[in-house]
Structure 1
Amino acid sequence: MQNYGPQFEGANHQMQQPFFQYSQCNGRRKALCIGINYFGQSAELKGCINDAHNVKNFICRQYGYKEDDIVMLTDDASNPRQIPTKDNILAAMQWLVRDAQPNDSLFFHYSGHGGQTKDLDGDEADGYDEVIYPVDFDTNGHIVDDIMHEIMVRPLPPGCRLTAIFDYSTEGKIKEPNLAAEAGQGLLSAVSSYARGDMGGVFSSAMGIFKTATGNTKKAEQYARATRTSPADVISWSGCKDSQTSADTFEAGQSTGAMSFAFISALTQNPQQSYQMLLQSIRQILRDKYSQKPQLSSSHPIDTNIMFIM
């Protein structure tokens, strides 16, 4: 267990502190890989389905994932349940985290269109939430990162790993709150509510901050810390900053997403890398050809010098 942030008084007047737990990644492995080419639509892509299959093959070969424990959603699937519609994606996200246990290693990969929409709950410093676009987004809409957090992060127990990779025009980061990483930020009531399991109290406390600091970057950071923290071990690799677009490109003889290609290439060349080394390796692979700058995000403070495992 790794403690961080200020101490606070919890239930029964016990002193508590925010915490998370690194996963040993030696439990069950499950994966969800999504690739959407948007066939016949105005913004058709070429490499996303290839990405999903390449990533699936890579995690089976390199990390011991089994095909029976991997759900694939691609828009060339013959089975209607494997088409990446909004409903199918949400159901698959719920499947991924169902019955999650400490030291499990869960893996989520998305390759497709993404973008931004106006932030309605005050947790984004730039005023926009990141979204991904299912194949049926024109009729059923997008999926906001807040919903992805609600489904895939909040249910996870301490010590459960979720590794997420987002390729193409969305950072899609899993929020990086440190709960009340800085003392004196007016968050202790929200922290205490969180410790009691009173999420309503968390939101009402955080909304009080939101209302008194509207438009303030610090306000967004505080609100995210109060409502987006997790004791689980959640890591997100994304192809670019929020304001950038990930390239749909051609590498090694096929159409592919630049981030997916770089992630696989970096770990194939050297499987034993720290988080910091891996981020640098991925950026180095992309630096010569693309302007995008891959990002690493986490649901907790992270020692970037420890080895990346999955």
Structure 2
Amino acid sequence: MCAEGPPQQPPSQQQSYGPSFEDAQHHQRQLYFQYSQCTGKKKALCIGINYFGQSAELKGCINDARNVVQFLKELWGYKEDDIVVLTDDAQNPRQIPSRDNILAAMQWLVRDAQPNDSLFFHYSGHGGQTKDLDGDEADGYDEVIYPNDFERAGHIVDDIMHDIMVKPLPAGCRLTAIFDSCHSGSALDLPYIYSTEGKVKEPNLAAEAGQGLLSAVTSYARGDMGGVFSSVSGLLKSATGNNQRADKITKATRTSPADVISWSGCKDSQTSADTVEAGQSTGAMSYAFISCLRQNKQQSYQQLLQNIRAILKAKYSQKPQLSSSHPMDVNLLFIC
């Protein structure tokens, strides 16, 4: 039976999951995360790249960045001074979306992050794939984004974005990311991906405890990367098939106690449309996300995913994805 009224606010206490384990000090522990109440500092980084004069020039990405800034200020109370915007029509050289500027801005976004802060990352531009070198991708490819100087400076791979924007965050700090780019399904390397039915492609941690996954995850929780890799190398031998193996490595090295959510414009195997809506060039995903929440701010994660997909389904084949750094209740109210 459906609950009446708006979705519930996220709980404030720590959420534990998975089987318990013994830490280095022989204390019984369990993996945990904490939802953000989004009552602390709000900071945002919005990147829109049209690639002026380049062979694959886009039209709507700068508009996307500006539209998201307005949306954050009007609907969620973000302040102009706490938003960094990088677009390739910027007059200030520090606001050009070069590889160096993007990486520096990502570091600014998460600097001094505290529990209940709300950080927002939006990227509209070209996305792509490159061969995966560490075995954490089921399809054998890492997802990448392309700065405006990518021909000279190179792309930015999802592993780097995860290391900069997810790993440093404390429990209870929210990062909401939107990737309006091709092949972006897992662009932030978050391990839990949700279907429109609210089901997660989730491993059974108890069943896998004997295969080294749990010790890898707990080594990661303690910051012991050596322990992670020795456990993961055991996993590589025990897991059969690339998909299973990649899933295990991702869960072992990408789980986080922070509250990280990523909305992406399409599956890893798909492209995202650069289109025209309401007479303006725009990315289809950015347009759908903003439109949905402007119509109704009180939506659960699952409702929002379903409604974004419904808007896009009328015209586009791309299927937006929702992923997170922890197992989450998709019936809770989406806040940022």
Compute the TM-score of the two structures, normalised by the length of structure 2.
0.89
Structure 1 match to 2:68: 55
Residue 237 (structure 1) aligned with residue 250 (structure 2): no
Unaligned 5+ segments in structure 2 are 1-13, 193-201
Indicate the residue corresponding to 2:206 in structure 1.
183
Measured against aligned partners, the alpha-carbon deviations of 1:9-48 in whole angstroms (never above 9, x if no partner) come to: 1122111111110000000000000000000000000000
Higher alpha-carbon deviation: 7-16 or 258-267: 7-16
From 147, 150, 157, the equivalent of 1:137 is 150
CA distance in 1, matches of 2:127, 2:100: 17
| Ranges in structure 1 where 5+ consecutive residues have no aligned partner | none
In structure 2, C-alpha distance between the alignment counterparts of 1:82 and 1:170, rounded to whole Å? 25
Q: Is the 8 A contact 1:8 1:191 kept in 2?
A: no
Counterpart-to-counterpart distance in 2, 1:177 and 1:237: 13
How many Å separate the matches in 2 of 1:211 and 1:119?
18
CA deviation digits over 1:117-153, x for unaligned, max 9?
1111111111111100000110111001110000000
Q: Which residue of 1 aligns with 2:188?
A: 174
Pairwise CA distance, 1:181 = 4.5
The match for 1:164 is 177
In structure 2, the residue matched to 1:223 is: 249
- Alignment partner for residue 53 of structure 2, among 40, 43, 46? 40
Q: Secondary structure at the match of 1:217?
A: helix
Q: Is the 8 A contact 1:241 1:295 kept in 2?
A: yes
Q: TM-score, normalised by structure 1?
A: 0.96
- Corresponding residue for residue 85 of structure 2: 72
Aligned length: 310
Confirm or deny that 1:18 pairs with 2:31.
yes
Change (3 A) 1:205 1:261: same
2-structure distance, mates of 1:105, 1:229: 19
Q: Which residue of 2 aligns with 1:247?
A: 273
Contact map agreement 1:125 1:216 (CA 8 A) in 2:
yes
CA RMSD of aligned residues (A): 1.5
Aligned residue among 189, 193, 202 for 2:228: 202
| Cα separation, partners in 2 of 1:19 and 1:181, compared to 1, 3 Å | farther
Q: Which residue of 1 aligns with 2:302?
A: 276
Identity %: 75
For the residue of structure 1 that corresponds to 2:206, the secondary structure is coil
Answer with 213-222 or 239-248: which moved more. 213-222
